[in-house]
Each structure stands twice: as structure tokens, then as C-alpha cells.
Amino acid sequence: MNAPARAAPAIAPDVQALRPEVRDALAALLLSLADDEFVLGFADSEWTGIAPLLEEDVAMSSLAQDELGHARAFYGLLADVVGEDPDVLAYDRQPDDYRHCRLLDHPRGDWAFTMARRYLYDTADAVRLEALAASIYAPLAALVTKVRREETYHLLHVDAWLRRLAETPGEPRDRLLAALGALASDATSVFTPLPGETALVAAGILPEPMAELRGRWLRALAVTFAQLDLPMPPSASDPGGRKGHSDAFRWLWGEFTSVRRLDPQAVW
């Protein structure tokens, strides 16, 4: 099910050799990947201890840990590009400087909302990662190959939950429909075009433009949603889909930066 990633023709990870506009665009790409996984990981961790089933408590805690691990690795690659400490990148920014997609700006909501959002994000992320596995930037392609294998378990999990909710009439399906309605306008925000994206595509670091990936994701989503008789989100993409974050995110930011702000020297 996870086709082996094409072996990327490696380029030396000497980021100093990249043209400045390509390097800046690479940094924007890595920041978007890291921030997406970081914010999602913290949002998932909100379920630890209060998930509707013990099994799901374990699952959501594992998912959260996976996403934070991916975020740490992406911040690590970003640190190599911009020459900054990964913890500084992760924790020492103001809420408006984060570049996660707006899909992840919503509060966790109820269980159906969490699963609906995760389904939209995980399937979109899978399309994005499949493309990045062929990046000529070797450190990114290698990491993405690893991350995709772990994400396979996430996809199985959310797919099972989407079907369970969609196929159970009454409250489960009603709650799922309400969630998809609330998320619809932000559904494609994973594929918000990146600053400097043209240079990144030309350099082969981002193998395809975000608009192309968005189209591929929507076509795959349409097949599943037709089977389950679920309404498709609008296909348009807001160019500001990674900016202007919500109050819900400001609250989450306050939570996940609280230890860092209390004691910047704290170590595990």
C-alpha cells in the first residue's frame, strides 16, 4: 500500500550553495510542514485522558507523539537551513508567526469533529508527502520516506472512523456532517501556495505545485465522499490559508509555550 518512494537523485545538502530565493522558499516549505505537525500534535494531545474510549485515548496519544516527532524532525531540517536552534523555531514565535494551515486553527470540538478534521488533514498530507518523497533535496526526501511509513497507521485509523461515523445514521452521521460543514472553507488550506513556490518547483525541491497536489487530493476525496454520500468541500484555495490565526489557536499556543515561557532553560 505504501509504494516505495522513488530514490531521489540526491543533491548535496549544502544549503549555502542554493540561490537565496530558493533557500528562503525551502525554509517556508519546511516551516509549513513543521508547524502543521506541531500544532496538530498538540491539538491531538488535548484528548489524552478524555477520549471517548480507552483504546482511542491510547491511539490519540500515540498520534500526538508521532506528529510531535515529525515536527521535531522537520524543525531540525529547517534549523540546518536557517541556522537556528530547533527549540527556538518551535517555541519562541508569536502566534501570528506560525505557518500551519487554517484547517488546524479550529478548536478540537467533539470526537466527530476531531476525526473529520484529521481525515481531511491526513489524506491531504499523504498527497503532499507522496510528492515530497521525490524531492531532489535529499534530507527532506529521506525524512519524508520515513514519515510516510508511520503515517500509514494514521490513515487506517481515520479512514475507519470516517466510515463508522458516516455509515451510522442519527447522531454519529449528523455530528460528522456538522463538522464537515464547519471545516469546509478551510479544507484545502494544506495546499496554500508557498511564498517563492515557483522557484522551489523549478529547483525540483517541491516536485509539483501545491495547486496540482490540491487537485489530486480533491479527486481522491470525491471518490470516498461519493461512496459515503458526504458533501465535498469547495475546491478553491485561499492564498492566505496559512495566516491570520484564530483565537482557538492563540489559546493552544498559550498552552504549548507555557513551560518554555516559564523557564526557557528547562530541559527534559
Partner 1 sequence: MNPSARPSELGRRETHTTAKPDADGRLGRQQTHDESTVLEMLRDVHDPEIPTVSLVELGIVHRVEVGPDRIAVELLPTFTGCPALEVMRADVEARLSGLAQTVDVRFTTAVPWTSDRISGIGRAQLRSAGFAPPDPEVFEVGATVACPYCGSGRTRMENAFGPTLCRSIWYCTACRQPFEQFKSV
Residue numbers at the binding site for partner 1 (CB under 8 A): 1-2, 55, 58-59, 61-63, 65-70, 72-73, 138-139, 142-143, 145-147, 149-150, 152-153, 156-157, 268
Q: Which is nearer to partner 1, 14 or 55 (CB)?
A: 55
Residue 173: closest CA among 108, 115, 221 = 115
Q: Which is nearer to partner 1, 102 or 157 (CB)?
A: 157
Q: Which is nearer to partner 1, 147 or 230 (CB)?
A: 147
Dihedral Cα 210, 159, 59, 169, nearest 10 deg: 130
Rounded to the nearest whole angstrom, what is the least distance from the CB of residue 142 to partner 1 in the complex?
5
Q: Which is nearer to partner 1, 150 or 255 (CB)?
A: 150
Q: Which is nearer to partner 1, 152 or 227 (CB)?
A: 152
C-alpha cell at 151: 503515517
C-alpha cell at 72: 521535531
Q: Which is nearer to partner 1, 4 or 170 (CB)?
A: 4
Residue 6, beta-bridge partner list:
none
- DSSP letters along 208-260, please? S-HHHHHHHHHHHHHHHHHHTT-PPPP----TTTTSS--HHHHHHHHHHTHHH
Unique residue bearing C-alpha cell 470516498 = 224
Rounded to the nearest whole angstrom, what is the least distance from the CB of residue 222 to partner 1 in the complex?
25
Rg of the chain (C-alpha set): 18
Using DSSP, state whether 205 is helix, strand or coil.
Answer: coil
Q: Which is nearer to partner 1, 22 or 143 (CB)?
A: 143
Rounded to the nearest whole angstrom, what is the least distance from the CB of residue 65 to partner 1 in the complex?
5
Residues 6+ apart with CB under 8 A from 76: 86
Element (H, E) at 50: none
CA–CA distances in Å: residue 59 to residues 2, 48, 68: 21, 9, 14
Rounded to the nearest whole angstrom, what is the least distance from the CB of residue 187 to partner 1 in the complex?
25
- Cα separation, 207 vs 213, whole angstroms: 10
